[in-house]
Amino acid sequence: MDKIAAIKSFTKESLAADLSGHGYDHARRVVTNAEMIMKSVAGVDQEVVLAAAYLHDTIDDKVVSDVAVATRKVQRLLEMNDFSQEQITMILAIIQNMSFSRSLEQKVQLSREGQIVQDADRLDALGAIGIMRTAYFGGSHGHPLHDPEILPIDYQNKADYRQGSTVINHFYEKLLKIADTMHTTPAKAEARRRKAFMEDFLTEFFAEWGSEEA
């Protein structure tokens, strides 16, 4: 089995039980997005990008109960599959620092490889898939779909962000914001398209919701 195939099967197993929109199907789409981006970006370590794209949610506190244990497991997996120490350091730095919630606590400069994986992950938070994942996540966490009395929050830390508010607010609290944070040219173009689709969706949503007085 080649290196990336081993990472893929580990990811499949690790994310099998996820019911929050961070299952293996999400990891697979992030890999596909990263491959699309890499077609027009030269000079990056493709193994690092692909491994980080697969593994990025396997050490996330949303998905695992013990982040330190999960991180050691990923490190051992990479060592056993002949990734170099330099690659392992790069992959861990990417998956520990790329998330939106992490950037609320501390903004760490990502490598070029990290920027590609972050763009690829953020694309999957947008568009039709982004809308569905957000509704699914909100449902699994008991959030209301929409409440005009609850205003979007400008989160300043991860704990408050994890509390969340409503499904519709999440579009304003995160999704529309990240569409403007892409690093690579192909992701910028795709994010613009997906953001426009989400804005059309929101216009239609509010039209159908109607006014409270009616």
Site for ligand ADP in 4-43 (CB under 6 A): 21
CB of 108 to ligand ADP, least distance (A): 13
- In the chain, % helix, strand, coil (3-state, to 5) comes to 65, 0, 35
Q: Is 190 in the site for Ni ion (CB under 5 A)?
A: no
Task: Report the partner that residue 170 touches, choosing among ligand ADP, Ni ion, none (CB closer than 5 to 8 A by kind).
Answer: ligand ADP
Q: Is 127 in the site for ligand ADP (CB under 6 A)?
A: no
Mask for 106-125, x = binds ligand ADP (CB under 6 A)? -------------------x
Q: Is 121 in the site for Ni ion (CB under 5 A)?
A: yes
Task: Report the partner that residue 8 touches, choosing among Ni ion, ligand ADP, none (CB closer than 5 to 8 A by kind).
Answer: none
Choose which of 54, 83, 100, 155 interacts with ligand ADP (CB under 6 A): 100
Number of residues in contact with ligand ADP under rule CB under 6 A: 15
How far apart are the C-alpha atoms of 90 and 93, rounded to whole Å?
Answer: 5
The stretch near ligand ADP (CB under 6 A) out of 10-18, 30-38, 128-136, 198-206 is 128-136
> 185: Cβ–Cβ under 8 A, 6 or more apart, which residues?
40
Q: Is 119 in the site for Ni ion (CB under 5 A)?
A: no
Q: Is 181 in the site for ligand ADP (CB under 6 A)?
A: no
> In the complex, which residue's CB is closest to ligand ADP?
164
Among residues 144, 176, 200, 193, which one has the least CA distance to residue 208? 200
- Residue 184: phi and psi, rounded to 5, are -100, 155
- Looking at the chain, which runs of residues are DSSP E strands? none
- Residue 175: phi and psi, rounded to 5, are -60, -50
Amino acid at 37: I
Mask for 55-74, x = binds ligand ADP (CB under 6 A)? -------x------------
> In the complex, which residue's CB is closest to Ni ion?
121
Q: Is 99 in the site for ligand ADP (CB under 6 A)?
A: yes
How far apart are the C-alpha atoms of 208 and 204, rounded to whole Å?
Answer: 6
Q: Is 57 in the site for Ni ion (CB under 5 A)?
A: yes
Q: For 127, how many CA atoms within 13 A lie in the half-sphere containing its CB?
A: 14
Rounded-to-10 torsion of CA 210, 125, 107, 15: 130
Among residues 79, 58, 78, which one has the least CA distance to residue 69? 58
How far apart are the C-alpha atoms of 123 and 191, rounded to whole Å?
Answer: 6
CB of 144 to ligand ADP, least distance (A): 11
The binding site for Ni ion (CB under 5 A) comprises 57, 121
